[in-house]
Amino acid sequence: MAEGTPAVARPAKVIVGAEELKAMVAGIFAARGATAVNAGAVADALVWANLRGVDSHGVSRVTRYLELFDKGESDPNAMPTVTRPRVAIAIVDAHAAPGPVAMIRAADEAVTCAREAGIGWASIRGTVHTGAIGYYASRIADAGMAAVGVVAGVPNMAYVGAKGAAVATSPLSVAVPAGKHELVLLDMATAVMALGRIAQLKAAGKELPPGVALTADGEPTTDPALAKVPTPVGGAKGAGMSLVFEMLASGLAANPIVSSYHSGTREGRRHRQNAFLLAIDIAAFLPLAEFTATIDDTVDAIKSLPPAADTDEILMPGERGRHTARDRAASGIPLGPKVWRELTGIATALDVPVPATPKLN
């Protein structure tokens, strides 16, 4: 799971309240031309990732969005369009809208399809920086449904037998609502180690664990300076998942990424993503309360097993992130000084108010 990677200690982190951070980020997007709804959607999705400790998918991406706006590769004003070729499927054309704008629309369309047909599938074509896919799966779960979500992007991960980046670290998320327990939320990259965590170790000059990255020549390495390409989890399994996720997410959206990327054209290497979201209307199968009771029993059964050595508590998918979110909602989100400097610089330049923050070491 991408969540809950322990933070590397750095000096002078800044602590910002989640709501203040959201307001500032929404202010930045609004100042760049997004509607209030769209600006709020992006801010909420980014801060959700920060709350859960997935800082690599959080507000540190604001600068990247602004670059994409500047280059014309994303449009803060884009309005996704939707077609419903059949009752259970929707095709959402993002028109290069920021990921959360297109993905939230797609999640809602998938839920609408599922209410009618029992399950609903939304293919999302041509969005940018989707962010944490678990956010959208959670949104579908909020409607009392189970969800599956996948994102396809530009190659940055190895494929077994090939040198260099071949496929993307395409994440998979599965959300299953429980009753007395909280949402079971799997949210995992198809790489052994999330890119953000590798970057953290590289920045700290720490040796990587074996098996997480290759050199530019495709040789395994633990040297952060030589590590260029993350490896797929389980070798052929992670590589295979990533490849078929690209085929489903990009193929059904008629917007191939992997083949275009390797064609070597400038256009082919342009940043873009596709995705799909599947909503499953549990109540069409059995009473929702019966389903959630089964999920509760299953959670209890696993949590009650004898723990392995050095294990205090057996965790469910998503549980570590939720614990982090509870802490950070209460005491604020720690941001690195560089991210904070960039964000506040942008905000100030756009006349967006900057929240006061205490310093943490």
3-state secondary structure of 213: strand
3-state secondary structure of 230: strand
Among 133, 145, 243, 339, the residue binding a second copy under the rule CB under 8 A is: 243
Please answer whether residues 218 and 231 qualify as being in contact, where contact means their C-beta atoms are separated by less than 8 angstroms: no
Instruction: Determine, following the binding rule CB under 8 A, whether residue 124 of this chain makes contact with a second copy.
Output: no
Residues sharing a CB contact under 8 Å with residue 119, sequence separation 6 or more, in sequence order: 88, 113, 278, 279, 280, 281
- φ, ψ (nearest 5 deg) of residue 302: -70, -45
Site stretch for a second copy (CB under 8 A), options 58-66, 71-79, 113-121, 336-344: 113-121
3-state secondary structure of 308: coil
Among 51, 280, 333, 352, the residue binding a second copy under the rule CB under 8 A is: 280
Measured distance CA(278)–CA(267) in Å, rounded: 29
Q: Which is nearer to a second copy, 161 or 353 (CB)?
A: 161
Q: Which is nearer to a second copy, 160 or 354 (CB)?
A: 160
Q: Which is nearer to a second copy, 84 or 95 (CB)?
A: 84
Please give the angle made by the CA atoms of 206, 227 and 221, to the nearest 5 degrees: 85
Instruction: Determine, following the binding rule CB under 8 A, whether residue 308 of this chain makes contact with a second copy.
Output: yes
User: 279: buried, middle or exposed (CB in 10 Å: 19+, 13-18, 0-12)?
Assistant: buried
Instruction: Determine, following the binding rule CB under 8 A, whether residue 305 of this chain makes contact with a second copy.
Output: yes
Please answer whether residues 213 and 327 qualify as being in contact, where contact means their C-beta atoms are separated by less than 8 angstroms: no
Near a second copy in 51-90, by CB under 8 A: 85-89
Near a second copy in 185-214, by CB under 8 A: 186, 188, 192
Q: How many residues bind a second copy (CB under 8 A)?
A: 83
- Distance in Å, CB of 208 to a second copy, minimum: 16
Near a second copy in 85-104, by CB under 8 A: 85-89, 91
Instruction: Determine, following the binding rule CB under 8 A, whether residue 288 of this chain makes contact with a second copy.
Output: no
Q: Which is nearer to a second copy, 60 or 255 (CB)?
A: 255
Among 59, 291, 347, 357, the residue binding a second copy under the rule CB under 8 A is: 291
Instruction: Determine, following the binding rule CB under 8 A, whether residue 315 of this chain makes contact with a second copy.
Output: yes
Measured distance CA(272)–CA(98) in Å, rounded: 10
- Distance in Å, CB of 290 to a second copy, minimum: 7
- Distance in Å, CB of 252 to a second copy, minimum: 5
Provide the b/e sequence for 35-60 (b: ≥16 CB within 10 Å).
Answer: eeebbbbbbbbbbbbbbbbbbbbbbb
Residue 271: count of CB within 10 angstroms of its CB: 16
Instruction: Determine, following the binding rule CB under 8 A, whether residue 28 of this chain makes contact with a second copy.
Output: no
Among 24, 42, 241, 325, the residue binding a second copy under the rule CB under 8 A is: 241
Instruction: Determine, following the binding rule CB under 8 A, whether residue 225 of this chain makes contact with a second copy.
Output: no
Instruction: Determine, following the binding rule CB under 8 A, whether residue 146 of this chain makes contact with a second copy.
Output: yes
- Distance in Å, CB of 38 to a second copy, minimum: 26
CB-side exposure of 99: number of CA atoms within 13 Å? 30
Q: What is the DSSP string of 4-34?
A: TPPPPP-SSEEEE-HHHHHHHHHHHHHHTT-
Q: Which is nearer to a second copy, 35 or 215 (CB)?
A: 215
Among 228, 262, 269, 323, the residue binding a second copy under the rule CB under 8 A is: 262
CB-side exposure of 300: number of CA atoms within 13 Å? 10
Near a second copy in 327-346, by CB under 8 A: none
Instruction: Determine, following the binding rule CB under 8 A, whether residue 180 of this chain makes contact with a second copy.
Output: no
- Distance in Å, CB of 337 to a second copy, minimum: 31
